[in-house]
Structure 1
């Protein structure tokens, strides 16, 4: 009896219209900056909703936790609150170049967020360098591609939304 029920459920799922998965691919570009005092930047990528509330920290690249607060907007919006989940998305700082980051359309609790307006935020801070923040509004539920302007610590970035 259970087998028939399971087969009917699977068949129903396969035949019913399914919600397409939403994904945002963010190409983070770290420019090559010369000089004897070059240190790799700390970088945070996070998502905010239409009300500028933090939805999810996608990734944080760092060396020492003491300097995370130098990424000021991320720290105020999400960093100081997401410490329990931070280990799951933290990695080492990256060399200059383009690095791909994926947001799977979920919030900090792992639940899918509804289609609508969100903002991709990318912030970088570098010792003996400067700070840069790039913000790009996106619309989940629509296929879109954006290219951002370069900032001091961040090169041009491509953000691709697929549904």
Structure 2
């Protein structure tokens, strides 16, 4: 008597098949160390913008989330409007904190963010032309916006960058097909 397993080849092929690879987006943001008498870490917003200047998605918002001197938690949110471009284009509609998007201000240095197609906050970005926009605003300091254009989805691995002059250093987009 012979036993047949009609699903065995299908099951084995599923077992040894590799996972589908989604496109990826890497964002590198440099916050320069400024030689000033009163230094405060900047608030930073990073988002993807459509050609009509509307926000496709907010990738990161770094602000003062600490509580100190009996100040209520989230008091730092009142200064998010200093990120004027992000705030006017959609930031005011965001209810912070947002898991995986908002976080504490970052020190001077290079900071890297990674996003995969299909996962939040990148999600399912429609094919087309976009801009990565990074805005920084600092108490007792300035405000700066850096924009890096890119195409989605990427046809090949690419790196595009732009540099700020004061509040931001190099801003780089790494695209992975």
The answer to whether TM tops 0.5 is: yes
Take 1:137 and 1:60, find their aligned partners in 2: how far apart are those partners?
20
TM-score, scaled relative to structure 1 = 0.82
Take 1:29 and 1:37, find their aligned partners in 2: how far apart are those partners?
20
Aligned position for 1:42: 43
The answer to which of 121-130 and 82-91 deviates more is 82-91
Take 2:83 and 2:102, find their aligned partners in 1: how far apart are those partners?
14
Q: Can you list the C-alpha shifts for 1:99-148, whole angstroms capped at 9, x where unaligned?
A: 00123345877641233211101000000000000111101223221121
Equivalent residue for 1:81, pick from 93, 103, 106: 93
Equivalent residue for 2:107, pick from 76, 95, 99: 95
Aligned length: 159
Q: Can you list the C-alpha shifts for 1:11-67, whole angstroms capped at 9, x where unaligned?
A: 58x87xx6x512111110000101221100000001112332211111111001110
Take 2:32 and 2:92, find their aligned partners in 1: how far apart are those partners?
27
Are residue 146 (structure 1) and residue 163 (structure 2) matched? no
Q: Is the 8 A contact 2:148 2:172 kept in 1?
A: no
Aligned position for 2:147: 135
